[in-house]
Amino acid sequence: GEGKEAVVSTQSTGAYAGARFAFALLQAMNGAKNVVECSYVESDVTDLQFFSTPLVLGANGVEQNLGLGTLIDFEQDALEKLKPELSGSIEKGIKFANQ
């Protein structure tokens, strides 16, 4: 049914993103320059503990977090509205990881 297809699609998207990041990281660790890939990492870009942003990858892993850039008012408002839900998801993830 439709629900199963959505789950498979979500899983495939997550797997693709993970593989893409892993390949980019391996390229950077093997000397490729200017490798930029988005990833969900612990950061101080927002007041949330974790956030997904573009990262410059290098021989030692993450070399620089490029942050969010300049957000227009619509984007800033949307981010503020999402923060409570994101914060709750982060808390759940941390609890799960610490089990």
Query: For the chain, how many residues are written?
Result: 99
Query: For residues 20 and 55, is the Cβ–Cβ distance under 8 A?
Result: no
Please say if the pLDDT value at position 2 is more than 70.
no
Residue percentage of the chain with pLDDT more than 70: 91
Please list the alpha-helical segments (H only) found in 1-99: 2-29, 73-97
Please say if the pLDDT value at position 6 is more than 70.
no
Q: What is the pLDDT of residues 54-90, one digit of tens each?
A: 999 999 999 999 999 999 999 999 999 999 999 999 9
Count CB neighbours of 86 within 10 A: 16
Q: What is the pLDDT of residues 25-64, one digit of tens each?
A: 999 999 999 999 999 999 999 999 999 999 999 999 999 9
Q: State the pLDDT at residue 4.
A: 64
Least Cα distance to 67 among 59, 83, 56, 78 occurs for: 56
